[in-house]
Structure 1
Amino acid sequence: MREKILHKATDLFLNLGFKSVTMDDLAHELGISKKTIYAHFPNKTKLVEECTLALFCTISNEIDNVCSLQMNPIEELYEIKKIVLLHLKDEKTSPQYQLQKYYPKIFENLKNKQFEVMQGCFVSNIEKGIQMGIYRKNLNMDFISRIYFSGITSLKNHVLFPVTMFTMSSLMDEYLEYHIRGIATPKGQQLLNTIINSNQE
């Protein structure tokens, strides 16, 4: 039952927002009593924490699997983007904003965990790209990986990028192309163009 509650709560939080969903809503959706939920999670804050951690672990594991496939670094970034979009439901209700506003400690802890995982992933991606000749040799890898993480997290800021103007999918596509064109060699640019053209077909 605990896993069932976690799964349904995560789905509701991502679709409706962390603040918007009440324990009553969750109990109603599951067809159980609130008492049953509280038997597994003492309060809503703990439930939010467990949901975000579980989602983070799922995404991290899938990203690790992609990185282990040894595909070329540009394709790797596009595969990672697909994983993130698949799990974050396009974020129409800005759950990230609600998490930051109403559960700041959970938000900061999650962001730190994301940075630890993604920093290693991005540095490895850049190293591979340089070795293959598709990224420029003179890159400051630590700077590039940090600025990329900073940019990716900023896309979720609905003040900067209102949902009425942008979808998360289009934002990530634009930002990924922007990032790769900034670090790619002519060989890398050709590969990027091929990937973009194949994605549009």
Structure 2
Amino acid sequence: MKNIAIVICLLVGVSGISQSSVGVETGVSFSKFRGDAGIENGKGLVTFVPGIFYEYKFSESLAIKAAFSYQEKGNTFDGQLNISDPGDPIFNQNDIDIQISSKFYVINPLLKFRTKGETKFFANAGPFLGLSSTSGGPSDYGFTTGVGLERSIKKLTLSIEARNSLGFAELNRDSLLDGYFKKKSNSYYLLLGAAYSF
């Protein structure tokens, strides 16, 4: 009976300090494929990242966050395009950027730790799963880490975060390029967030 009372007290205490919030986070992503030397010689790809999230606080310092976003990951390469001049039999060469990328719907459960105070420092980490936005495209998976600052104004919380997602999946598998070179994702993000607590 005593043990049951202790468990009930703990549950009541957790429910008293727990708090849910929903929000949006958006920013920029700098991604670059890693793998064989040929793919790593490319330049990174900068894209816009929209996302939403749900967060549940277990305590003032510990929370779990479920994030969902749309992301494009890839590389750009310097190339040349040959253009025939009808008045000159010699071909002209113009520099162009060649882009190789994949687009994903990313599900990202994160365990989040935060400090106390008006302006809080936080760190979070967890796995991610990227589902291809195109039929038959490759899926991506890996691990995410991030650090940032947040400040609450009544029920509104504003945040800024630097995040990294390191992919473990071979993105060329089962494609026409499979066997020519290997590529895995690596993305860095700068995100701004706004959440409403209820």
TM-score range relative to shorter protein: under 0.3
- As a proportion of its length, which structure holds more strand? 2
Query: Could you state the TM-score of these two structures normalised by the residue count of structure 2?
Result: 0.22
> Higher helix fraction: Structure 1 or Structure 2?
1
